[in-house]
Amino acid sequence: MTTPGSHSQSGSGKSLVEGISNLLGFLVAAFVGAVNLFGLRSGELSAILRNEAPRVTVVFGLMLATTAVALASLYFPENERTLVSTSCGWFAFCLAIFTLSLAFIPIPAVTEDWILNLLYAFTSLLLLVAAILFLARHRLWPSANLPLKLVLISCSIILLSAAVLAAARLETRSQVQATYPQLGATIKVANGVGDLSMKIAASKMRARDQVLFWVEGLRRSVSMDKRCGGVWAGNCILQTCDEDVKGDKCRNIASGAVNSDAMGRVEQEISTLFSAHEYQLLIVKARMCEVTGKVVPECKSKAKHVQLYLGVADP
């Protein structure tokens, strides 16, 4: 025996479950589709999870907030309304979360300090506006109101946009940080002439990035036993060449700059000849630099460099 209204209650409960399922499916599909649009791969995802755990937590927090607000909209009837001032307060608060997520995930060498300061200032302003609207909700537009369901759906859209943009910035940040020059070199000596072959490679470079390379030779007249205790220690060799103003100990053999192709990749093979009688060691360096319109490219990220020490066989 069934009680009156049991069918309507079960029907409404079933429709609510279906609405929740459809909404969750839509949110997940929208987020995954947007992330796939930016080309995020499984290998890059593991690198991001390994290196950017706090920022990944922010992205998942935004998605969780998006889901919670969207689900909350299902539990309110169509005729439920709220004050315009309160609605604008929630909009300002969600926009503050949006701008704060942008500031929390800066892109190295792209997001400058003044942009971060502007984002933090704008976030503070939005939070202040939200607080004023919440506190003065009965004084500002007391008779005007908006559907609560519409307000919650709008907030969920703002938070979903923040989550998608945060994921995109996180992926871009990971690519920029992972852009290091790769360097390989070999030396062949024949009849007193050395042949240095270098291979320079890089990927995911920006349009204004270059790979600078240069080769220095340590002369055979320098006694490594006296300078470095007979050990070719990198710091000792570099200090020897850096302190050599006259060029008696070290000499520049080759240098240049390599630009990336349209896909942001560099694959360049370079060779140069040198006197094997004159040099006992070659120092091959490569560094990622940014072209800033100056005559000499500016190397902002000094950590993005690689160097090799190659001994020259006796001719």
pLDDT digit string (tens) for 98-117?
999 999 998 876 777 889 99
Which pLDDT does position 5 carry in this prediction? 47
In 10 A of CB 46, how many CB atoms?
Answer: 10
Q: Are residues 164 and 236 in the same domain?
A: no
- Segments forming the whole domain that contains residue 23: 13-177
| Cα separation values, 175 from 37, 96, 287, Å | 16, 27, 17
User: Which pair of tokens denotes residue 187?
Assistant: 């030396």
Pairwise pLDDT comparison (291 vs 278), residue with the higher score: 278
Domain end marker among 177, 200, 235: 177
Between CA 165 and CA 99 the distance in angstroms is 10
Is the pLDDT at 88 greater than 80, yes or no? yes
Rounded to whole angstroms, the Cα distance separating 143 from 199 reads: 72
Is there a single domain that holds both residue 117 and residue 227?
no
* H or E stretch covering 214: strand 209-219
Question: Considering 177, 196, 225, which residue would you say is the last residue of a domain?
Answer: 177
Percent of the chain with pLDDT over 90: 18
Bridge-based pairing of strands 266-275 and 193-202 is: antiparallel
The domain total for the chain is: 2
Among 3-12, 64-73, 285-294, which range has the highest average pLDDT? Answer: 64-73
| Coil/strand/helix, residue 206 | coil
Give the residue carrying structure tokens 């537009």: 141
